[in-house]
Structure 1
């Protein structure tokens, strides 16, 4: 189990973005993971009474950064962003690349470059706390759309998560769980655990909840994009059961694009 568990608050931004606040209980430092929209972030800070010290940006897309200027003016938070994003992220104080470390109070996170959705994407891996902020790389029951580079690049990024402990909590940047579940069932129809998760996703949606975070163990059992090495997924995309996982992933991602 993680040695230290941060306090984390999730909430909806825009139509389907997930806002996240992480507070270190030891020091009171608090980070927002991306700022899709200023008002929900500021409202969550007011509700919790937390003081924002940091903004950790996963990638440069507008739906993850457009609220930064207003939140920075209101809080004075330090903005950390991928170096490869260049000037596309506003109000940046610190840039980070593969292997760098970020700190939120006593919580230390490693920066992983996880391109595929876009070339500048990074994920923040807080291993001791047992949490990963995966942005638009890995979703509950899905993965990001490939917008820059070949799909093999995204597969290599996703593969980095697989060796992490199963209890690792994955926070993603969007709530696409409903559509992801429908595709996952089409690709992996005999997966009983997936069927149960899809039903859980339906209940959560009806109750105004979302299945974020998700544990890595659940994703490895039910997310077709992480299960590309399973013979059943290969057969589902018309490939031989022994096909390389990367080939299966590419076929799955192309199918999802048309789904």
Structure 2
């Protein structure tokens, strides 16, 4: 079985889509559908034919191009069960633990409510890939539009237990701002200091900071470190429970 190829492409102000291609079967999946032309151009650039379209959640910057992509390619569309706003055009709804086949591999859906109640992350376990939509960002997490801190913390904890070498593709280029915030609340974290410097170098060259690895997030992302003593000390929440720490982090990040 050949290794999957991933081609990340930007669209909109700061969104990323990703094509996932298997050379043996010729199958190609696209993660999210915020901009049909950007996705179709990426397919043309690579000479790939779309077979699967995987939708993480209902927000327009992830779904606006769904109908046009489906019409142009005849792909099969997988997306979340309609727990939030229904998404027109989905062929197969997936919930937590649902699995389906892509190029002879299993893809597992991980339900991660918080940003929205319908959010699905797509995990390719045999290839150590996860597509986290607006749940987990590089050094950050999504805003809580439809859920609360306890819900999102539980969702983040589902991702924390994936193998640390897992490559994490998130849906937005928020890393530079996330890094500045993370340094404010966890200033003595040496791994974070090094990562922040690398992010600055990448953005100075207008290069992507995504993907990241789960190991890097465990070391640098404050939202995955709610049990860290130094972070708790910085927040003044040494003895608080993890939900309270997470809620305080999210509230501070909202106003950052």
TM > 0.5 fold call: yes
Counterpart position of 2:254: 257
- Once residues 3 and 136 of structure 2 are traced to their aligned partners in structure 1, the CA distance between those partners, rounded to angstroms, is 21
Instruction: Say whether residues 1:70 and 2:68 are aligned partners.
Output: yes
1:149-176 alpha-carbon deviations (Å, 9 max, x no partner): 2111000000111121111001101110
Q: Is the 8 A contact 1:183 1:256 kept in 2?
A: yes
Question: More deviation in 9-18 or 85-94?
Answer: 85-94
1:126-166 alpha-carbon deviations (Å, 9 max, x no partner): 11110001100000010000011211100000011112111
Counterpart position of 1:248: 245
Equivalent of 2:26 in 25, 28, 40 = 28
Equivalent of 1:114 in 112, 115, 134 = 112
Counterpart position of 1:49: 47
How far residue 85 of structure 1 moved from its aligned partner, in angstroms, is 4.7
SS of structure 2 residue aligned to 1:190: coil
How far residue 84 of structure 1 moved from its aligned partner, in angstroms, is 2.4
- Once residues 57 and 90 of structure 2 are traced to their aligned partners in structure 1, the CA distance between those partners, rounded to angstroms, is 12
Counterpart position of 1:235: 233
Q: Residues 225 and 233 (structure 1 numbering): CA distance in 2 closer, same or farther, change over 3 Å?
A: same
- Once residues 229 and 2 of structure 2 are traced to their aligned partners in structure 1, the CA distance between those partners, rounded to angstroms, is 38
Q: Is the 8 A contact 2:109 2:122 kept in 1?
A: yes
Equivalent of 2:213 in 212, 215, 220 = 215
Q: Residues 208 and 36 (structure 1 numbering): CA distance in 2 closer, same or farther, change over 3 Å?
A: same
Q: Is the 8 A contact 1:188 1:236 kept in 2?
A: yes
How far residue 58 of structure 1 moved from its aligned partner, in angstroms, is 0.5
Counterpart position of 2:159: 161
Number of residue equivalences:
256
- Once residues 24 and 33 of structure 1 are traced to their aligned partners in structure 2, the CA distance between those partners, rounded to angstroms, is 14
Q: Residues 187 and 104 (structure 1 numbering): CA distance in 2 closer, same or farther, change over 3 Å?
A: same
Counterpart position of 2:100: 102
Counterpart position of 1:124: 122
Q: Is the 8 A contact 2:164 2:213 kept in 1?
A: yes
SS of structure 2 residue aligned to 1:89: coil
TM-score (norm 1): 0.95
Q: Residues 231 and 87 (structure 1 numbering): CA distance in 2 closer, same or farther, change over 3 Å?
A: closer
TM-score (norm 2): 0.96
How far residue 124 of structure 1 moved from its aligned partner, in angstroms, is 0.9
SS of structure 2 residue aligned to 1:225: helix
How far residue 71 of structure 1 moved from its aligned partner, in angstroms, is 1.1
Counterpart position of 1:177: 175
How far residue 243 of structure 1 moved from its aligned partner, in angstroms, is 3.3
Q: Residues 223 and 86 (structure 1 numbering): CA distance in 2 closer, same or farther, change over 3 Å?
A: closer
How far residue 4 of structure 1 moved from its aligned partner, in angstroms, is 5.8
SS of structure 2 residue aligned to 1:84: coil
How far residue 29 of structure 1 moved from its aligned partner, in angstroms, is 0.8
Counterpart position of 1:198: 196
SS of structure 1 residue aligned to 2:127: coil
Q: Residues 243 and 4 (structure 1 numbering): CA distance in 2 closer, same or farther, change over 3 Å?
A: farther
